[in-house]
Structures are given as C-alpha cells and as structure tokens.
Structure 1
Amino acid sequence: MVKGKAEVRAVRKPSPFDGRGEITVRELLDGPDQMYGKGRVFAHTTVYPGSELGYHVHQDESETYYILSGVGQFNDNGVMREVKAGDVTFTGAGEGHGLANTGNEPIEMIALILYR
C-alpha cells in the first residue's frame, strides 16, 4: 500500500484537551485496523505557534512524539522540558503530558499511540 499525500486525511482540531489554539492531525494509518489492533494513532501532527495540546493522562496506552521541527515546552507529568527537532518523548500508561508551542514556527511531529 502507498498512500499519496492527497489521500492522507487531515483534520484541524481546536483547543485539544482544553489547550489553546489549534492543531492539524494527518492520519498516516487508518487506526487500529491498519495497526493490527496494537494502537490507535500514527499521525503527523502540527501544533501552530501560540497553540497547545492541554495536559491529559493516558490510560492503558502510551503516546510517543518524535519532534521533526519547531520548539516547545513539554509537560512530562508536571515536569516542564524544552523539546526541539530530533527529540523523542514517551508517555506511558497512567502518565500524563501536554505540549505548548513556544516558538514562532509550527511544531511538526509524528505521534504514535500504542495499546498496553
């Protein structure tokens, strides 16, 4: 299977997880079916300047971000860390996280959610 750029579904989401601003999520795989039931998200996500994914907790799943470009503040269970291109974050089951774009350019990242 090859999914051309025009076939990748993109969805703009306002104020995700009670954050601010908006993000765009491009679904690279079509959820659990294409992930053999092992996860639910494999996506290219854009967090625009001034926007934020609000803090939220994952139950029975993990979420990993691979930062492609941009700069932000990552809330890792209440501990704030700067993230930039090349950084990887991991939030395990029962843990929480959030991400605020603190730069002047969009944060581009790959997001992966896997079931426990």
Structure 2
Amino acid sequence: MRIEDRNNVQNGKGTVHFEYILTAEEMHGYNTLYARITLKPGCSVGYHVHQGNGEDYFILSGHPTINDNNEREVVLHPGEHLFCPDGRGHSIINNTSEDVVFMALIVTSPKV
C-alpha cells in the first residue's frame, strides 16, 4: 500500500494523508482512486468539479462538512456517504477537533 501526504489538495487547507488501497492500473482504468484519507482538524480537500468521473466519500470516523455542488452543506457521520456525480462539484472540510477518516472512490464515467 502506498502512503502519501499531500498539501493543499484541490486548493484546500493543510495536509491530507492518503493510504492508497488499489492503484488505477490494478482497477484496469475503471476507477482512478481508491484510498483511505485522513483529514486532521482544520484540513480540507478544496472544491472541485468532476469531469469524466464521479467520487464517493464514505465516512469511517469523524464528522466532516461537505459542500455538495455549491447547493448545500451537509455534515456526514460515520457510516454515511455522499456521491458526487460527473459534472458536479464538492469539497470536504474537517471543522472539528478530531480526525476525519473516510474512503474515497473515483469512478470513471462510461464512454457513450
């Protein structure tokens, strides 16, 4: 498993810790990211729009705030998820004093 810390992901705040479960090659191009991600307090993945894929955040621990396509903000809890489909945008931020841990899966949209 490859582990990586990245700063200012999608112009977000702080350092984001990635634990990659499978590589894009191992997923044969169907998906491009499958990782367990940790956000320390105050850290975020900035707002971004998906083109050619969608992304699901499944919360393992903590209570992150999700910006869902600039239409609403929602606080998710462990066991909940939010899917951002192709053509829509989202961000995730940890506004709490505890770590947020979630699974992220980027799913490639079918070729029409």
**Range of TM-score over shorter length:** over 0.9
Counterpart for residue 55 of structure 2: 63
- The equivalent of 2:23 in structure 1 is 30
Amino acid at match of 2:17: T
Structure 1 moving runs of 4+ over 2 Å = none
Q: Does 1:115 align with 2:75?
A: no
The number of residue pairs the alignment matches comes to 108
Tell me by how many angstroms 1:29 deviates. 0.3
The one-letter code sitting in structure 2 at the alignment partner of 1:50 is G
The 5-angstrom pairing of residues 3-82 of structure 1 reads: 8-31=1-24, 33-78=25-70, 79-82=72-75
**Percent pairwise identity:** 32
> Using the alignment, how far apart are the partners of 2:64 and 2:18 within structure 1?
17
Unaligned runs of at least 5 residues, structure 1: 1-7
Aligned to 1:3: none
CA distance in 2, matches of 1:106, 1:14: 16
User: 1:48-75: CA deviations, max 9, x gaps?
Assistant: 1110111000001010011000111100
* 1:65-104 residue CA offsets vs partner (Å, 9 max, x unmatched): 1100011110001111111211111000000000010111
RMSD over equivalenced CA pairs, Å? 0.8
TM-score, L = length of structure 1: 0.90
CA distance in 2, matches of 1:77, 1:37: 25
Corresponding letter in the other structure for 2:107: L
